[in-house]
Structure 1
Amino acid sequence: MAERPLGELLRHARQRLVDGGVGDAALDARLIVEYFSGTTRTDAISTPDRMIGNVAEIERALDRRIAGEPVHRILGHRDFYGMKLGLSAETLEPRPDTETLVDAVLPFVREIAARTGVCRVLDLGTGTGAIALALVTQEAHAVATGVDVSDDALRTAAANAGRLGVSSRFSAKKSDWFAEIDGLYHVIVSNPPYIRSSEIEDLQNEVRNFDPRRALDGGPDGLEPYREIAASASSHLESDGIVGVEIGHDQRGDVTGIFEQAGYRLVSQHKDLGDNDRVLVFGR
């Protein structure tokens, strides 16, 4: 396919996505064109006549987006807490709501690191490593173990740690929750699967068809992972440690009850940018 000027290509991409019924067509078109052409927003403004050669590759990416594939899956990465994280088939795409969990526990991580010289973090169901890597990049004296049952996810998390330059403070470990975990941690965090099994088919196509089901399905009532974490965390938690979990918007009461029955107290609760209940932090 012949070269096209950058400005014309951006307009063409946006119109293709509009015609294809894609929401946020202008943003997705810009992300796709910039990524595959190696250009920036500044280039589009300063040199809109710059000729772009790999038009066919951009057209294929637009086809994928029109077919329903999320734009960040097409690009192969997602920004999270100031980091660019690689994605893979068996990793959940990290979303801004999960940054609420990082914000909730980061002050405690910093406090422990300042007081003891190190803060040990365990991230259950680490996926891309998003939560653990955000914490270790924000606190130089934090070390983290990211746990997952997926080899694909563990490879992705380890690769992300390498790109961020924190491989010496992040380890990826295969384990079904706590099954293969030894030692004590100051902070245990998790964004577990919390969608009810019966509701998976009602999710947006981009989530249902492209996020791994294992990272979404929380069992019949969406609470099975919380029961697992609450039942086993105490054996791996320092006496003054905390457990921070992301929750569904209607799960605050149920999850609080599960942890209280296991001997925890609710330390804090946090809403996301949409004013929905999103994170609970527990202590013993």
Structure 2
Amino acid sequence: MPHRAPGTVGALRREAAARLAAAGIDSPDLDAGLLLAQALGLSAAALRVAGPDLVSPAGAASFAQMLAQRLAGVPVARILGEKEFWSLPFTLSPDTLVPRPDTETVVEAALDALKGRAGPLRVLDLGTGSGAILAAILVELPTAWGLGIDQSPGAAATARDNLARAGLNRRGAVLVGDWAAAVDGPFDLVVSNPPYIPTGDIAGLAIDVRENDPMAALDGGPDGLVAYRAIIQEAPRLLAPGGVLVLELGIGQEAAVTALLCAAGLPPTHAARPDLGGVARALTASRP
């Protein structure tokens, strides 16, 4: 931002939104408002009525730093260090993906698959990242206990903190491991949002993903299916009889993952559940 006397809250927001729009960033006014509220320590409601107020030099300097990050392609959630998922706040770290609305489809599919089941349930979340999927499921299933596993110690630590933040630390645990190699079943539900981007497609991802999300959580190998093979190979021994497996899919991966499931004796129960954009996103299978 130019070095000059700070103006009003409203003027600063409008100027920032114009710069974001000129840079081709989606939702420029929303992004400007979120960052400005954070910089000034205001709630969204307070920001709306603070338009005529003058911005302090310290507030303007903090906002300028955040705006520069956003203009460089850093997602708002990374700048704020937090993202909402399933109406819950999740702390982020460099080792975790930013939870995305598309992934809520996995939670929906899992809850539908377990509808009507009584008694305690055991849930396993492979590649738990921030712990968003696991926490959302545990919130909705008060009799369930869950285990999250991630290969990254940093991600595992973040997930533990997020479970505690949601008041779930007594109903869930997080371990560091190579998928489910060191875990025994049985689990009533196994869920995963694995890395599924083919290696050759990484360079073409949007900058906010390519330059800011952890590569280990994106790169699915040459065909995007490496993690699916590892998970599906272990699934039969992890699932209880009648247990459910729900996998998040990348665009166009339903047929290939379905073939892997069928080969493992876990044919999908129905077509993949679409996300809000109509993409086949959550594939459900069950152990006979």
**In 2, Cα distance between the equivalents of 1:132 and 1:270?**
19
1:121-157 Cα offsets, whole Å, 9 max, x none, are 1000000001101001122112111100101001111
Residue from 61, 66, 73 that aligns with 1:61: 66
Within 2, Cα distance between the matches of 1:195 and 1:217?
A: 5
Specify the SS of the correspondent of 2:179. Answer: coil
Counterpart Cα distance in 1 of 2:37 and 2:48: 12
Cross-structure match for 2:128 = 126
Counterparts of 2:115 and 2:53 in 1: how far apart (Å)?
A: 47
Equivalent position to 1:79, from 71, 84, 104: 84
Q: 2:209 aligns to what?
A: 207
Write the distance in 2 (CA, Å) between the matches of 1:213 and 1:47: 40
Letter in 1 for 2:253: Q
Q: CA separation in 2, counterparts of 1:8 and 1:237?
A: 57
Distance across 2 between alignment mates of 1:109 and 1:167: 22
TM-score, with length taken from structure 1? 0.94
Partner of 1:100: 105
SS in structure 2 at match of 1:186: strand
Aligned equivalent of 1:244: 246
1:68 partner letter? G
Query: Which residue number corresponds to residue 197 of structure 1?
Result: 199
Q: Distance in 1 between matches of 2:248 and 2:284?
A: 9
Secondary structure at 1:147 match in 2: strand
One-letter amino acid of the counterpart of residue 194, structure 2: P
Structure 2 matches for 1:220-235, cutoff 5 A? 220-235=222-237
38, 58, 66: which one pairs with 1:35?
38
Q: Deviations over 1:140-191 (max 9, x none)?
A: 1121111001010011111111111111111111110111212311000000
* The one of 13, 18, 37 aligned to 1:10: 13
> Which sits farther off after the overlay, 51-60 or 184-193?
51-60
**Alignment pair present for 1:219 and 2:224:** no
Q: Does the 8 Å contact 1:127/1:157 carry over to 2?
A: yes
Tell me if structure 1 keeps the 8 A contact 2:81–2:91. yes
Does the aligned pair in 1 maintain the 2:185–2:240 contact within 8 Å?
no
- Give the 3-state SS of the residue equivalent to 2:269 in structure 1: strand
> What is the Cα deviation at residue 74 of structure 1?
0.5
Contact 1:182/1:236 (<8 A) preserved: yes
Matched pairs, number: 281
Equivalent pairs: percent with the same residue?
39
CA separation in 1, counterparts of 2:26 and 2:87? 24
* 5+ long unaligned stretches in structure 2: none
